Structure 1
């Protein structure tokens, strides 16, 4: 009996049918979980250092974006806005990749990065222990429009973020980062909320 005939016979057997059913159900459940609830993401750059390092793998939950508003200091994964695509080039691979940044302001907030790199939201200086260093630029003041958020990288001077390309439509958000699961020595959610 040829290999092909053995495969056909296995598929026709009760054991084969049961295995196929089990694999199909398992794959369907896994795909639904990834599509609707939680998905893995990989950190490719140092724009969010020190919160994330290159190679970190994290879980991004996709449910709460539908049921509660975004808050300042949350780390989100999102599809890049049109202005970002224009800056990096529509045909660039980067223009199609999801990005990860921290929400620093939500709709209605007045945002400014003043001389010395300090972030102010609604006139209040922000305590940002998660940043790598103070920004070496000034920005604003600007008011976040309805339906948008302003996102910045934690590594402020090495991040192509909202201070360059503007506001992020909230509808572009894929989900909130909830914890690093790889590498093992970085497991946790320090600095994500």
Structure 2
């Protein structure tokens, strides 16, 4: 999975590093020209009785005022003050041999980045303390999308998912709420899969009459729950911060098709990088 993370970053870095050089070179050229002109005028003084046209000719070493020309020396469309026309610079770049290669690089980088983002792995951040202590507010993690196409989620895995309709009905004023908040993904831990019998008693989780190891949780649950049997095609998900999580013990079961992906690595902050608490 570390290789997947690197693959997600490298195409964007390549695109950034290959920005065309014509922009910076044009600005350097303009700065040099305008600087030279200012330094020349600073040390020239007009002698009494000297016509202004003669002074102008003396400054530039010619026999009269020169014909105005463009800052690139190719046209008469500007005042020669050294300020390149960005559109002209862009047109010259498109005609250059490097343009085709640069465009190929940008297109390939964009294609690779989008492919990774939509089909392989995507970044997510933690907005609440419902998964504390595994995740804290502001943590950023990598969510891989391959496993869900190969097998169903397993107990103990942390998954990111689209909120089910039961969650929307409970939290939002209208079941058809189309606001951004209603569409935000959630993150919880899978504690039971289809066919499992679930009981929470005296703060402890039991699956099929066996007490589960919950070393990842913040504290024992303050509620009792079940017994319930997880229906086919459904999951039961709970937050690690049992008493501060709006999860399956309140709104019910999660359809498998709502799964976006599986959390595999925490990559920010860097001193907490790794997969501790993730299966």
Matched, 1:98 2:185: yes
Matched, 1:133 2:216: no
Distance in 1 between the 2:142 and 2:225 partners? 31
Partner of 2:21: none
Q: SS of 1:129's equivalent?
A: coil
Tell me which protein shows more helix as a share of its residues: 2
Partner of 1:175: 261
Matched, 1:162 2:245: no
Distance in 1 between the 2:236 and 2:225 partners? 12
Distance in 1 between the 2:136 and 2:230 partners? 29
Offset of residue 6 of structure 1 = 1.0
Offset of residue 94 of structure 1 = 3.0
Compared CA separation, residues 36 and 187, structure 1 to 2 (3 A)? same
Offset of residue 91 of structure 1 = 4.8
Specify which of 60, 64, 74 is matched with residue 147 of structure 2: 64
Aligned partners of 1:75 and 1:101 also within 8 Å = yes
Point out where structure 1 has 5 or more consecutive residues left out of the alignment.
none
Distance in 2 between the 1:49 and 1:27 partners? 35
Q: CA RMSD in A?
A: 1.1
Partner of 2:110: 27
Aligned partners of 1:107 and 1:145 also within 8 Å = yes
Distance in 2 between the 1:87 and 1:37 partners? 32
Partner of 2:209: 123
Partner of 1:6: 89
Q: How does 1:44-63 map to 2 (within 5 A)?
A: 44-63=127-146
TM-score scaled by length of structure 1: 0.96
Displaced runs of 4 or more, over 4 A = none
TM-score scaled by length of structure 2: 0.67
Q: SS of 2:154's equivalent?
A: coil
Aligned length: 192
Tell me which protein shows more strand as a share of its residues: 1
Distance in 2 between the 1:135 and 1:7 partners? 63
Aligned partners of 1:84 and 1:95 also within 8 Å = no
Give the number of the structure whose alpha-carbon radius of gyration is greater.
2
Partner of 1:84: 167
Partner of 1:184: 270
Q: Specify which structure has the bigger relative contact order, considering alpha-carbon pairs within 8 angstroms and separated by 6 or more residues.
A: 1
Aligned partners of 1:74 and 1:176 also within 8 Å = yes
Partner of 1:36: 119
Q: SS of 2:111's equivalent?
A: helix
Distance in 2 between the 1:81 and 1:23 partners? 38
Point out where structure 2 has 5 or more consecutive residues left out of the alignment.
1-83
Compared CA separation, residues 92 and 141, structure 1 to 2 (3 A)? farther
